[in-house]
Structure 1
Amino acid sequence: MADAASPSPATAQAQPVSRREERVGYLLVFLSALMWSLGGTIARFIEADGSWTVVFWRSVWAAAFLLGFMAWRDGLRGTVKLFRDMGLPGLAVAICFATASTCFVVALSYTKVANILLMQAGVPLLAALLSWLLFREKVSAATWAAIAGVIAGVAIMVSESLGGTVSPVGDGLALLIAFMFSVATVITRRFATVRMTPATCLGTIFAAIFAASQVTQFAVSPRDMGFLFAFGVINLGVGLAFFATGARLIPAAVAALLGTFEPILGPIWVWLVHGEVPSARTIIGGAIVFAALFIHIGMEMWRQSKPQRPGAVGIPSPN
């Protein structure tokens, strides 16, 4: 989920921060990944009939929290201004976020949580590929190698669909989620001055409206409503608020690295709580994705730590 709202390297480093603020940033981004990693575990407790009912109530609770968060942080007038100033880039990110958050809930009915989360781990590298295809943004040889590794890892995971182990619909939706987050990341980077928190809030509103047009029954049990509240507020809303606040205080590469705790921890929680064990292909493919991602981010952090020669132009970070 991190990438949809992550700032570009330019915005992340626009203002110098103190060592204490940087430590707070590390903690907040880690907590955001922790909140997001709980999504699959919470969803498995919900017994409501129909994915659209879950999408509707999750989106309603997330939108309510995010509106309250922005009103508390920026005031009512400031919140209205944020929505007005986000323009078409914000609207595009909202559509991407609405699509991704909706597909996440629907995909849970078809495939394992691990398949969905591990495919999302490659979002920063997929965003780099899209930037090259759409805007001819320079991509280093190391990034191309990492992209190849991610594609190979995802191909191994998706190959389960071909053998009938999991539903091709589920893996297809998981790929769509990763693609939507990648598009949102590219847009966020291209329009670095636009605050994307209202865009993600608008995305939850879009998702709620669309789900309302598809749902057959809005009523759920009090037990399910409690889990839907946690699914929308704690998993989605609080996670986004933590990330939007903390990611501005630390380097983009570090934020991307901390964000990988979501797909790492997510399958572990589902395995411990619900006994849903990832398949061998998912583990192998996920390991390849993480190896490519960690090596790439490590090289990027090393590159950023080196003092640049006067007049040198750095390769843009795909994160």
Structure 2
Amino acid sequence: MPLPHLSDHRKGLLLTAIGGLALSMDIPLVRLADGDIWSILSARSVATVLATFVILIAMRLFAGRWPPLVPGRPSLLAGLLYGLSSVTFVLAVFNTATANVVFIVAFNPMFGALLSWLFLKEKPQPVTLIAMLFMIFGVGLIVREGLSSGHVFGDAMALLSALVLAAAITLGRASRREMGFVPLLAAILPAALGLAQVLPSGLSIAHPGWIVFNGAIMMPVAFWCLATGPRYLSAPEVGMFYLLETVLAPIWVWLIFAETPATMTLVGGAILVAAIAAHSVWMAKGKSVQPA
């Protein structure tokens, strides 16, 4: 995906914004498919793997060469982390409220900032820390009345998903290698795990077309863009665009399932969008004025 007229930082902002928008459709499409957890996980992951191989073959035919698939040991570890994050995310969706999932996963950029600070010595800029404070406040408003007890396992899976995803993004940032296909190929792990659970009895999905669309189109776009972003952006910056799911998923659910978001959800979403937009503009402006 060449973007020759954009600076590296703006390429990163554009890619991660597209990836975050695509990712925001994940939960609504999972709900539209209406199936059990292992059927959804396996169908979603198998569709992603098959779509990836189709893309790879097409690129080989038109470009005459294979794109970088798993460049080095860091990519192998990142792939395992991406695969694990898919499993934990779906487990969270099925074992706790949607508000709980998006709230806890929203801590992804904070985990990313901590890991980058510890392992990459990338101290977050003051503007990033300020944006994070606004994000915490906005997310807190969204789920203030949505958090409930009795979902310990689901909440733990969402927290683990945020941490694992942040670790994968940080690895991508540290390696500076092309990892666009790593999270797509990593879908082999949840695909194998899901199929092992459903093969004895078969898939149970009421509307399989939605989950196939999700796995074959939306997830490849989301994961490729978000995995490529760390080549141009810091891990906390990439993690911020995962927050688009926090903002937009309730809106899609409102439009599709007529579930009206609470007033605090709309207010908190507006704060998150404003924080992400202001931070992105500030960072892009700062990069553009730096000497070449």
Question: With structure 2 as the length reference, what TM-score do the two structures score?
Answer: 0.77
Tell me, yes or no, if structure 1 residue 89 matches structure 2 residue 74: yes
Tell me, yes or no, if structure 1 residue 43 matches structure 2 residue 30: yes
Q: Which whole-Å CA distance do the structure 1 matches of 2:114 and 2:132 have between them?
A: 7
Partner residue of 1:141 out of 116, 123, 126: 126
In the TM superposition, residue 27 of structure 1 has moved relative to its aligned partner by: 7.6
Partner residue of 2:190 out of 197, 207, 218: 207
Tell me, yes or no, if structure 1 residue 190 matches structure 2 residue 169: no
In the TM superposition, residue 124 of structure 1 has moved relative to its aligned partner by: 3.7
Q: Please list, as runs of the form range in 1=range in 2, the aligned pairs for 1:160-199 lying within 5 A after superposition.
A: 163-164=148-149, 167-192=151-176, 194-199=177-182
State the match for 1:71 in structure 2: 57
Percent of residue pairs identical: 28
Show CA shifts across 1:15-54 (max 9, x none).
Answer: 98136xx999988765544432221111112232x31121
- Bigger drift between 182-191 and 207-216 goes to 207-216
Q: Which whole-Å CA distance do the structure 2 matches of 1:248 and 1:186 have between them?
A: 8
Structure 2: give runs of 5+ residues left out of the alignment. none
Q: Which whole-Å CA distance do the structure 2 matches of 1:168 and 1:300 have between them?
A: 37
Cα 1:60–1:259 change in 2 (3 A) is same
Q: Which whole-Å CA distance do the structure 1 matches of 2:273 and 2:110 have between them?
A: 11
CA RMSD of aligned residues (A): 4.1
Cα 1:260–1:222 change in 2 (3 A) is closer
Partner residue of 1:239 out of 207, 218, 222: 222
Cα 1:132–1:180 change in 2 (3 A) is same
In the TM superposition, residue 268 of structure 1 has moved relative to its aligned partner by: 0.8
Cα 1:104–1:277 change in 2 (3 A) is farther
Question: Is the contact made by 2:21 and 2:245 (CA closer than 8 Å) also made in structure 1?
Answer: yes
State the match for 1:271 in structure 2: 254
Q: Which whole-Å CA distance do the structure 2 matches of 1:305 and 1:122 have between them?
A: 28
Tell me, yes or no, if structure 1 residue 305 matches structure 2 residue 288: yes
Question: Is the contact made by 1:126 and 1:147 (CA closer than 8 Å) also made in structure 2?
Answer: no
Q: Secondary structure at the match of 2:94?
A: coil
Question: Is the contact made by 2:19 and 2:223 (CA closer than 8 Å) also made in structure 1?
Answer: yes
Structure 1: give runs of 5+ residues left out of the alignment. 1-11, 311-319
Show CA shifts across 1:250-278 (max 9, x none).
Answer: x7499888765444332211111113344
Cα 1:222–1:242 change in 2 (3 A) is same
- Bigger drift between 289-298 and 90-99 goes to 289-298
Q: Which whole-Å CA distance do the structure 2 matches of 1:293 and 1:264 have between them?
A: 11
In the TM superposition, residue 62 of structure 1 has moved relative to its aligned partner by: 0.4
Cα 1:68–1:248 change in 2 (3 A) is farther
Question: With structure 1 as the length reference, what TM-score do the two structures score?
Answer: 0.71
Q: Which whole-Å CA distance do the structure 2 matches of 1:153 and 1:23 have between them?
A: 25
Question: Is the contact made by 2:109 and 2:238 (CA closer than 8 Å) also made in structure 1?
Answer: no
Partner residue of 1:220 out of 180, 203, 207: 203
Q: Which whole-Å CA distance do the structure 1 matches of 2:142 and 2:197 have between them?
A: 30
